[in-house]
Amino acid sequence: MLHRHLLVNSAMIHQAMASSADDVGVVWLPPYHDMGLIGGLLQPLYAGYPVHLMAPATFLQRPLRWLETISRLRGTVSAAPNFAYELCARRLKPEQVASLDLSSWRLAANGAEPIRQRTLSVFSQVFAAAGFDASAFAPCYGMAETTLLVAASAPDAAPVILRADRQALLGGTVQPATGDDAVVLVSSGTPAAGACVVIADPQRLEVLPPGQVGEIWVAGPMVADGYWNSPQATEANFHATLEGGQHSWLRTGDLGALLEGQLYVTGRLKDVIIIHGHNHYPTDLEDTVGKLDVAIRPQGVAAYARELGGEEALGLVVEVERNLAETALAALRARIVEAVSQVHQLRVGELLLVAPNSLPRTSSGKLQRARTRQAVEEGTLQALAGRAQP
C-alpha cells in the first residue's frame, strides 16, 4: 500500500515541479525526513535525473558548501526549509557570493516550516549577483502523512505574496490590508493535481468559506492509510468527516486559509497563543522579534504561552548569534519588549536570551515550541545572562 502512495505523490511532484531528465539535484536534507527521502531521493529516481547528496552536518557546519555544490555541478533543483535560505543570506560575505554561479538553479523549493517573505527577498537580493533568479523560489506545503506534497507554487513564477490585515487575521480572516498594520503572508501555492484541500472549523467540523482561517484538511490518493500500530491516532487524524459528508479526511493540525485558490498556512492549531481572550500567532511574534537585530539568529525565536502569576503570559526564547556584553544584552531585551508591545500590544512575561542551537527543533529544522516551553519550565535552557521577566 505504501508503494501506491509513493507512486501517486511522486507523479504529483513530477507535475508540480515540472521535473525532467535534464534536471540536476543537490540535496543535504536527511533521508529520514520526508522532504529529504521523497523529494530529494525518490523524485530523481522517478524523473530520471542525477542527484548529488551531502550530509546535513556538512551544510550546517558551512552553509556555503550547499551553494558551492549547486554552482559547481550546475544544479537545477534543490529544496530546504526557510531557515536554510536565511542562514545563507545572513552569513555569506560579498566575496563568497561573487565566487558562485547560481544561474542554473531553476527550482528552489521552500517548505517544511513557515515561509517568510523577508527571507525570500533578502536571499534574492544577496544572490542576484550570483545569477540567482527570484522566480526560482517555489514555496510548497506537505507532510509525511500525505507522503509529502499537498500544494505547490507554479514553477518559473514569482511566489504569491499577500499583505494581510493583522487585526482581521487575529479575528480569523485573511483579507488584504488597507493600512500599515499588516502581516505579510507567502502562499504555499495551489493544491497539487489529485489533492483535495478544504479549510474546516475544527470544532463544528464544517467547511469554512474562502478567506476564513481554520484547520487544513486534506484528502486524496497520496494520503497514507494511517500511523503504524497506532489505531487511536489513526482514527482521530486520518478518518475525519465533515458535517453531512461521507468523505474521509486527514486533519493536518495546521491552520490556514484558501483565498483565490492560494493556500496560506498561518500556523499550528496547538501553537496558537491565547492571552486575554485574543489569538496571537507565534510566527507573527517571532517575525517581529527576529528582524530587530543582526545578533538574533535566523529563525532563532520561539514564542509560547505559559502561566505566570496566575494568568496566561507570553514567553520568548531568543537565540543570539554572537557573544554580546551584558549591556548589549540588556539593550536587546529592552528592544524586544518594546517591539512586542508596540506591534502586538502584548506584554512579554518571560524572556530568555540563549546561545545558538539551544532551541529544540525537528530533523527538518522546525521549531518545537511545546518542547521549548517545557525546557523553560524545567530550567534546562541556559540563559546567557540569567532569566529576564519584564
CATH superfamily for domain 272-378: ANL, C-terminal domain (3.30.300.30)
Q: Is 131 left (phi over 0), alpha (psi -120 to 50) or beta?
A: left
pLDDT in tens, 110-130: 986 778 898 999 999 999 999
Where does the chain hold its CATH 3.40.50.980 domain(s)?
2-152
Does residue 366 have a pLDDT over 60?
A: yes
Provide the whole-model pTM.
0.86
Model confidence at 307, in pLDDT bands (50, 70, 90)? confident
Does residue 2 have a pLDDT over 80?
A: no
pLDDT in tens, 165-181: 999 998 999 999 998 88
Q: Does domain 2-152 have CATH number 3.40.190.10?
A: no
pLDDT in the model for residue 385 = 67
Does residue 142 have a pLDDT over 90?
A: yes
pLDDT in the model for residue 387 = 47
**Edge-to-edge strand list for the sheet holding 311-320:** 296-308, 311-320, 348-354
| d(C-alpha 31, C-alpha 152), whole Å | 21
- Residue with the larger pLDDT of the pair 382 and 302: 302
pLDDT in tens, 145-155: 999 999 999 99
Mapped onto helix, strand or coil, the DSSP state of residue 351 is strand
Residue 219: φ, ψ to 5°: -140, 155
Query: pLDDT > 70: what percent of the chain?
Result: 97
Q: Does domain 161-269 have CATH number 3.30.540.10?
A: no
Where does the chain hold its CATH 2.30.38.10 domain(s)?
161-269
* Average pLDDT over the chain, rounded to an integer: 92
pLDDT in the model for residue 279 = 86
Buried b (16+ CB within 10 A) or exposed e, 342-366: eebebebbbbbbbbeebbbbeebbb
pLDDT in tens, 197-240: 999 999 999 999 999 999 999 999 999 999 999 999 999 999 99
Residue whose C-alpha cell is 525532467:
20
